[in-house]
A and B are shown apart, each in its own frame.
Chain A
């Protein structure tokens, strides 16, 4: 291994401090081992997938605008909901935070690059192929799988060859995530600058360290679940088929043993971003740093003990329901600690409200709302009533969109000056925030009502009593989708013609990338490492 590292250091020796990579053009991106290049590619990949998944959401909302079937047939509708979920979770939200990790972790801990630079290249370049496989499934006979992103057995057995492509895509995505996680864990544990103790690291690094462990622990479980689906489909096994001695519910147990930690895999890096942004714009240190670290760890550990709260209606014994209910409500405690800490960080600060802070506050407000509906759903009797209704759809979009996506927007606006060397248009950024905030709530808040009133999820058509809220929701969704084009414009405008950014554009920012590095950051940084003792 050391030989590889040596060659790498030697080969790039001449370029230290230069602003460009060893190759020009496309080859730079294909062959790069630079954490900043790879981070950039992750970010653009996830934005592309965000757009693809977004178009699918628009199709779904167009069909649901009115009762009756107007736009698509029920089969295609199911394919849309399935692929929207898979693409947003695995193609958009997970990679965007890996992009952040690549860009920021080495800079925040004072390391020159990621620990395994070539594996880093590979873990990115697997992703486009996985994305292509997912999208190719639409062009197979029978189309993409229409089984929901959870891929429940035995419906998966009825699907066409698109299902197999999806399974292989998930294998690839899993490999990519595991490699990325090994890289992050190794980098954080071994490559911190002298004096950068674990408990001095910015919270973003902490949340990613914990997330990476969650990924290494759970992605193989998902791979196992989909592989069993594959062998049930083609090789005569009966893991999930009662006629052969299997059990369809076994699939759900395995899937959610991955699926619940996955919720935190998506949420924790967002917590980390927000924990950098809020102190910076409050001009005040993060309140309760140590308790933040412990709360994050507690959430991660508890996330392995609550999976069956997604399955209260499968008919588990009463003791099972009670255990999972108690364990789930327990997560409210460390999550509450985090929310209280963020509010306490703002308390008696000196607040300004630039776009990153607006998105961070939006995150705090709406994520907490999603957390509260999570508490409501954790209670077995209410969950049995609301399971698989639009209430659940509203709940997890508050967590995924207002949680993870808002945090990602906050982070992008926050670090864009450091990454590009230019400032974004503050006014347009704020307009983007308000449009996103308003349309998000129009889209999803009303879905709580549809769900309470009894509208099941994943249906292409609905009884007349649900019409009002579906109309409102669809209008909100179209607005939300269009608003994201403004985001693309703001980013492109920043890259092309933004004003030059100072080394430290945010007064309260205090991690190494702001205090120790110029803007824009050079291609190679922290070689040699800074001494922080």
Chain B
């Protein structure tokens, strides 16, 4: 049987959630379908007595020394096993040992067996017995996936999700269309959280000083401490938590602190910045949170805010932003305009219409200057002199735009910007009448009523003073993430009783007495607020894999409650408020994934009169000039603050812009690198006070000069995981959390950086097409930028294109750029000139206009071959480059859906990453201020696929529905297809990447049963999620109807918060994808090769301010 035909097993597959995304153009028809697939009763039912299982296990252990429990202990203490575990890399990836000796091989074998043993005993897999259910769980049809609404707590707020479950095994995350933050889409973290559940590095059982223990031992020890503390109303007892967004936990904590008034609660998270809250207090007198609403925002000014990639609301903001970037086929549009002033080039900056990359102080100065221009009396002349000189036009134009869009504009400030800048933004938004329109203020979601947490500095002071007798830490790995100057780890050792509740054995766990295994959010009951305050009940998809307890149960233990389950605790929080209909409302909340009307109402605090005066005073001083490098700290786009360090999907996820995987590097600008004589991979020493960190550099085009950006979270030690990357936390101090200064010296050492895209120069090829709205409106049928660089474009169009290129903010000075580019082109990763300047690159030749051979492939040339017969649905896809922000959610979604293995850094260096879908980034223009383009590329499903005729065994073929399919079983692995693929989207299993050594047994639980796991030596690639197509086809046949447009959503499409991906039947004249293909901005990649791709792109359109176009050159001054 061929792989590409659905197996009988796959025939039973239920449709994907088919939830309408709410993205523009999507039909709402499938909402009902999504609702029916969600069950109200979760399948995994928590046993009543959580201790029973532990007790049982303990007894088993005692009685049967020969059982696997013994092997666990044995292996836990066996140094050879520990050594082997230490070598283990990350989920799904292991350093591939080239010189593996026989001994090594045997060791590997032994350890695999041991791990298999561990799996067997600790993971409560569904027992495989071939008997039918006696009592079948509701809606359970074996082989049919079920979807449960749940939510994932993320920094700043939860995101609502639908988790796909196969026979009680969660395998895939989808967005929840009913959830205000998700709107049907997801972020990378939530997509990758499935792998986090099955992470083999998880802490499995309670440990007391490295020795496996059980919960009752801990509770026993704790009781003693608690009674001791209770004598003094809890004095000496301290809790350190991250921010708390779970109402139940807030309730529990409040109760605990009220019962023990002398006990202390401290809060710390590395990603968190208190600046915004501080500013809100200053301006409004209340710690309100600003929420932004972009549907009506015509002008957006981002001051160092990467709002399209960071923060709890970024999924929603991307959707709202992208909806306003769509241009209709008749060239009408209601486009917003985005101005970005920031330091580190970000995904938001890459989408900007006008983008300035400045030193942090100058970014702040830009807002002050704009505020002054708007007539706010905040002073700050000393600060703004520099930026005014360089960017006066920009400031004037922006201020003009903001004024004109009163009430329809928004100023967004990055969380890590200083509090006075946040305060100023509030004043500007107030001045512009935006508050209540595009900015709403809501109460913070992370507050425990009547309680104020201490900071981590307070805690270390208390520890130093000996005031802390017992300390319970709830996650966060503070020994790793705490500001280095606090020396948290050292002080932690002096506390008499310490317990750490976490998913992994990390730096903090190494230092405490008790390690308590946490539960993953997919394992246990909880609740969480989204950034707007709406509450989702987190319902578990599976019983805890290991001996973890939910955080609520831990708090219950602290409060002396026994035998309480997380489920009861969560219900206790909500059921009383639900009133008479409690059960019904509870079930509805579970089903919808959000408790109705739980969002906070916007607060309407008045601006304090003295706020402006206070700011004026703050801005009076000019910032100190420093000759040292400015060092900017950012959370990592994949690892956040390091919490996802062991997640192979995220480690191997190419970072936006740099495309670095497996490790971090210090970003430095092109000119700075040239001055210092550095190449990417050269090490520098960053010295700040007595701390020196040696780190390789990455030359990031667009990074301002003399500024270094460091991504936090790398280099985190987790037991069993081979540390990757460089820990930059030591450079961070409590006083300078986000920006500091340091000395930089090249060391002469070099390492190879692991990147998936070493070349970021488009080489004058017309791969990403982009232009301005004006150009499009001037020539709605054939805008110049669609043909620029093509042979038959004609002089007129050529001109148009050149003009267009120049119009876009940063492409101002052609000649100078050309020079730069040539210099750069000889370096490996070069940014060349803008398209066409490089003389030795020709232009893609295309078929003369008017020679449209085939209505479906407007760019197809003549051919000897007959067209494929078009029977049934003809699948096709469009990707709107104007909407895509390069966020990577689609890449992880694809990896999760299609069982794509993680290959590890060694293999990525060799160019063997397996992602079916990649996002290319190209930089154009001046290497110091380039434009950035993102282009998601996966199999194009060419009508004339170059891969098909060269396969000697016919393993890759054209399906009747137009999909270029891989028959894995038939593939012998000549790799000819990949060579002949001009898009290079085919991926080859160079090694046995799915063998147990690579993919530990527990990880296999994360795999989608409807997708073949590919063997070594086999080619693979995107197949438009053919399993999802089959599922919907089966469903439609059962219902005796046609497949509805939008009913099939590929994994990438459903993850995309920008709604950039449209998929459907291109032969259906009413389908969304057909409409997109008829759009004048639609184009195919490399169509001069006559490949006739089924996936096509919509050119990116920007909306620059006409006033700035003529003076674009000034942007670089």
Tell me whether A and B are bound partners.
no
- A contact set with B: CB distance below 8 Å: none
- B contact set with A: CB distance below 8 Å: none
